[in-house]
Amino acid sequence: MSYLPEPGEQPDWVTTLIRPASVSVGLVLLGVSILLAPIVFTYPTFLIAAMDLGVLLLIYALVVLGLNLQVGHTGLINFGPHLYVAIGAYATAMISAESSLAGIALGLPLPLGVAAGVVLSMAAGLFIGATSLQLRTDYLAIVTLAAAEIMVRLINGIQPIFGGQTGIQNIPQPINAAVGNYQTALVVTLLILAGIVLATYGVINRLTNSPYGRVLRAIRADEDAAESLGKPVSKYKIAVFIYGAAIMGFAGALIPMYNGSIAPSFTTIEMTVTVWIGMLMGGAGNNRAVIGGTAIIMGMRLFTRYMQQYSPVGGGFFAPFRLVLIGVVLWAVIYYRPEGIWGNPDKLGEVFTRK
């Protein structure tokens, strides 16, 4: 007798098609096909801002996935994601920039710059992890934030190396150079970035749902108990810190590739605040939820940007009001759903809930 799936059970070929790996490859191939084909996209001007914010959302999605691996799954409080983003972005920029008004511009191949950005971010993660992960929660949070802010001050202050406030320009933009049309390049960028984010999500999801992920959750719940069971807690924590730093560094490397330049305004604590809000709003420990929470925050930024032109008050009042609105939404979520919109309080325990 032939095999008949149970009601609601998906056949194997359907499961294969909807796997993150399959969809991510499909998105990247679609983007490359548009890149190589003589297709030109045109759409209303107001969509350009939305799609540009979509690119920023996908970059932030990579950052929040790396942060969630550290915080949501392992309980390692990291208030310095912008450190690794800055390292990845500036290493890529300085190695790959063809010329710049200030700062280092070596003009080497772009893949070398991206690889250097990821490796240096991992090295920073290893250094901070090896020297600070023995600290508990609030002290670790202070150290990670301090390290990130030191990096921000160095970027702003050492102009001969980092370009200061001017930043570094003339960084290769492979998609824009291949297409020549900004609107088409924006579509291709969105498709390829979506494929990269989905592939990263699939890898992290596979990791956190494996026995390795169960060890991470045990460390988050009680690392002393995990160590008493023979698990090398310190090695797990350092490895997770390095994995998260690599993902954040790669996200940083994408910023100059998209913008063609990098400046201190792209790597401030605002990025850390945004991804933390997105993670807490969606539900720490849930890979899909943290991306959803970040999307809500970015959507609110886009919505309030367009609401400003219809506001009866001036921009000087409405601009801070946008931040107040986001703060009120975050407060409401944390008060009524401390585990996040899609979070599971039974799995998170006392770290992110009122239990």
pLDDT at 11 over 90: no
CATH number for the domain including 314?
Answer: 1.10.3470
Share of the chain above pLDDT 70, in %: 88
Domain presence at residue 288: yes
Residue 16 binned pLDDT confidence (cut-offs 50, 70, 90):
very low
Whether residue 109 lies inside any domain: the answer is yes
DSSP 8-state assignment for residue 309: G
Averaged pLDDT, 177-203 = 91
Question: Structural domain tally of the chain?
Answer: 1
Domain hosting residue 298, numbered range: 20-348
Cα–Cα distance, 239 to 234 (Å, whole number): 9
> CB pairs under 8 A, 24+ apart, for 22-28?
23/195, 23/198, 24/194, 24/195, 24/196, 24/198, 24/199, 24/202, 25/195, 25/199, 26/195, 27/191, 27/192, 27/194, 27/195, 27/198, 28/191, 28/192, 28/195, 28/196
pLDDT for the residue numbered 18: 54
Greater pLDDT, 332 or 215:
215
Q: What percentage of the chain exceeds 90 in pLDDT?
A: 51
Confidence tier at 4 by pLDDT (50, 70, 90):
very low
pLDDT in tens, 57-71: 999 999 999 999 999
> In sequence order, what are the residues at sequence separation of 6 or more whose Cβ sits closer than 8 angstroms to the Cβ of residue 269?
82, 145, 148, 149, 152
* 140 inside domain: yes
Spell out the residues 6+ positions from residue 54 whose beta carbon is closer than 8 angstroms to its own: 190
Q: How confident is the model at residue 310 (pLDDT cuts 50, 70, 90)?
A: low
Answer whether residue 326 shows pLDDT above 60: yes
Confidence of residue 13 (pLDDT cuts 50, 70, 90): very low
In a domain, 15, yes or no: no
- Residue 10 forms part of a structural domain: no
